[in-house]
Amino acid sequence: MNKISGVLPVLAVPFNNDGSLDLDSIPKLTELCINNKADGVVIFGLASELYKLTDNERIQILEKVISSINSRVPVIVGTEHSGTLAAVARSIEAEKLGASALMLYPPTFIKPDEDNVFSYFKAVGSAVKIPIIIQDAPAWTGVPLPVSLLSRIIKQQPNVCYIKLESPPIGEKAKLLKAEGFKIISGYGAIHLMEDLTAGIDGFMPGCGFPEIFVEINDLFKSGNIESARTLYQLVLPLLTFQLTSLDTFIEIQKLLLKQLHIFSSSYCREPHIPLSSDRIDYLNLLIAEIGLKKLKGAKA
């Protein structure tokens, strides 16, 4: 259960139209992922609106995800915090609740130096027994993670052995980190998926709105049918590019797709949120029509 690889969708968090948690939709979402042969799920990634959740809500959501998955695939849980002790506490709690692995980016409120980054991941790793994924996204964290620092971390804390690379191109850094013993996960909305697969990644974390497409691309690539994988990837690339316009856009599109599938009862995104305009919804519908998905309605529908 602790092997992290393949297609690992980041789960959106469902809300009712009044902004309250919609816990009843979580089992539907986890079944969507499992029925479409996802290799695991991620909760409390950025696409989970984690920064809009209370601590109590995080526990409720995680308990629901864990019980819904019921040990069928790994559950990766984001447990980062701006404080080291708080990140340790979150990580211990997630492990106790049944997490298969944890994912953390370095503290961002006060930009840490390399010694502080090292002590942060050393403290979390030594507090739990499950694998740790370091989220390397300097473009938005403002915290660079050089190979020399990451090598120091894995040597001192061997369960901190996965890295999620979010700053393309990842090929050269992935190669260097593999030599240090890391398993490689890619992110960035899967917008560079073919390049990432070619770089030899172990897994990737796309959105959860259409997991079946990512599973098919991955299966085609792994079976050596690279041209077919590339053709399917090129079909969805305009949508992947559009939804990565902003984090708000990415989240809302996942929720619109899930509402269309009757997985979510609402596409509500918690405030602060800038919804898609009607013109952008129209353009989005052109993109999804090319893929063969059903026409979407606006968030207020």
How confident is the model over 210-262, as pLDDT tens digits? 999 999 999 999 999 999 999 999 999 999 999 999 999 999 999 999 999 99
Residue 66 has pLDDT above 70, yes or no: yes
Per-residue pLDDT, 301: 36
Asked if residue 182 is part of any domain, the answer here is: yes
The total domain count for the chain is 1
How confident is the model over 178-202, as pLDDT tens digits? 999 999 999 999 999 999 999 999 9
- The closest alpha carbon to 6, from 206, 175, 176, belongs to 206
User: What gap in Å lies between CA 286 and CA 276, rounded to an integer?
Assistant: 15
Burial class (CB in 10 A: 0-12, 13-18, 19+), 162: buried
What percent of the chain has pLDDT above 70?
97
Q: Determine what percent of the chain falls in helix, strand and coil, rounding each to the nearest 5.
A: 50, 10, 40
Asked if residue 188 is part of any domain, the answer here is: yes
Residue 139 has pLDDT above 90, yes or no: no
**CATH number reported for the structural domain that contains residue 183 in this entry:** 3.20.20.70
User: What gap in Å lies between CA 73 and CA 115, rounded to an integer?
Assistant: 35
DSSP state for residue 229 in the 8-state scheme: H
Do the beta carbons of residue 135 and residue 167 sit within 8 Å?
no
Do the beta carbons of residue 27 and residue 16 sit within 8 Å?
no
| Domain membership of residue 141 as a residue range | 6-221
DSSP state for residue 232 in the 8-state scheme: H
Do the beta carbons of residue 118 and residue 134 sit within 8 Å?
no
Asked if residue 248 is part of any domain, the answer here is: no
What percent of the chain has pLDDT above 90?
93
Asked if residue 100 is part of any domain, the answer here is: yes
How confident is the model over 94-138, as pLDDT tens digits? 999 999 999 999 999 999 999 999 999 999 999 999 999 999 999
Q: What mean pLDDT comes out for the span 163-175?
A: 96
Cα 107 off chain centre by: 18
Asked if residue 110 is part of any domain, the answer here is: yes
- Beta bridge partners, 164, equal 135, 185
pTM for this one?
0.96
Asked if residue 282 is part of any domain, the answer here is: no
- Confidence grade of residue 3 (pLDDT, cut at 50, 70, 90): confident
User: What gap in Å lies between CA 132 and CA 100, rounded to an integer?
Assistant: 9
Structure tokens at 64: 């629901």
Asked if residue 81 is part of any domain, the answer here is: yes
How confident is the model over 81-103, as pLDDT tens digits? 999 999 999 999 999 999 999 99
Mean pLDDT (the chain, rounded)? 95
Asked if residue 140 is part of any domain, the answer here is: yes
